[in-house]
Amino acid sequence: MKHLHFILLCFILVPCTIKAQVKDSSVNKNQLLALPVISRSIETDWSFGVGGNYTFYTTRKKDSATRTSAINFLGSYSLRRQFIFLIRGPVFFPGEKYILNSNFSYSYFPDTFWGLGNSTTSDMEEEYNFRQYYIYLHLQRLLGRKLFAGISLEFQRVVDINVKQGGLFEQQNVKGRSPYQVAGIGTSLSWDTRNNTFWPSKGRLLSVSATHFTPFILSDHRYTNIVVDARQFIRVDRKQIIALQAYGFFNTGTDVPVRSLASLGGADRMRGFFSGRYRDNDLMLLQAEYRLHLFRRFSTVAFGAAGDVNGAYSSLQFSRLKYSFGGGIRFATNKNEKQHIRIDYGIGNGKGNYGLYLQFGEAF
Where residue 276 falls (left for φ over 0; alpha for ψ -120 to 50; beta otherwise) is: left
Phi/psi at 296 (5° precision): 45, -115
Q: Pairing state of beta strands 45-56 and 30-41? A: antiparallel
- Please report the pLDDT score of residue 358 as a whole number: 78
Where residue 221 falls (left for φ over 0; alpha for ψ -120 to 50; beta otherwise) is: beta
**What is the percent of the chain with per-residue pLDDT over 70, rounded to a whole number?**
90
Answer whether 223's CB lies under 8 Å from 260's CB: yes
Closest by alpha carbon to 340, among 30, 7, 13, 115?
13
Pseudo-torsion of CA 195, 154, 269, 348, nearest 10°? Answer: -170
Report the predicted TM-score, pTM, of the whole model to 2 decimal places.
0.86
Answer whether 290's CB lies under 8 Å from 301's CB: yes
Closest by alpha carbon to 304, among 348, 341, 265?
348
Interior angle at CA 154, CA 30 and CA 127, nearest 5: 100
Task: For 80-124, write each residue's pLDDT tens digit.
Answer: 788 989 999 999 999 999 999 999 999 998 889 999 999 999 889
* pLDDT-derived band at 16, boundaries 50, 70, 90: very low
Cα end-to-end distance, the chain, whole Å? 26
Answer whether 329's CB lies under 8 Å from 342's CB: yes
Task: For 229-286, write each residue's pLDDT tens digit.
Answer: 999 999 999 999 999 999 999 999 889 999 999 999 988 999 999 888 999 999 999 9
List CB contacts of 102: < 8 A, sequence separation 6 or more: 87, 88, 89, 91, 136, 137, 138
- Please report the pLDDT score of residue 183 as a whole number: 98
Sign of the Cα torsion 51, 57, 60, 65 reads: negative
Closest by alpha carbon to 69, among 51, 52, 57?
57
Distances 1 to 41, 43, 211, 276 between C-alpha atoms, Å: 10, 5, 31, 11
Domain boundaries defined on the chain:
63-68+77-360
**What is the percent of the chain with per-residue pLDDT over 90, rounded to a whole number?**
63
Pseudo-torsion of CA 341, 103, 77, 41, nearest 10°? Answer: 50
List CB contacts of 165: < 8 A, sequence separation 6 or more: none
CATH class of 63-68+77-360: mainly beta
Distance CA 307, CA 23 (A): 51
Rg, the chain, Cα only: 21
Answer whether 356's CB lies under 8 Å from 329's CB: no
* pLDDT-derived band at 2, boundaries 50, 70, 90: very low
The three state secondary structure string of 10-47 is EECCEEEEECCCCCCCCECCEEEEEEEEEEEECCCEEE
* pLDDT-derived band at 136, boundaries 50, 70, 90: very high
- Mean residue pLDDT of the chain comes to 88
List CB contacts of 200: < 8 A, sequence separation 6 or more: 194, 233, 241, 243
Distance CA 230, CA 232 (A): 7
Distance CA 76, CA 64 (A): 36
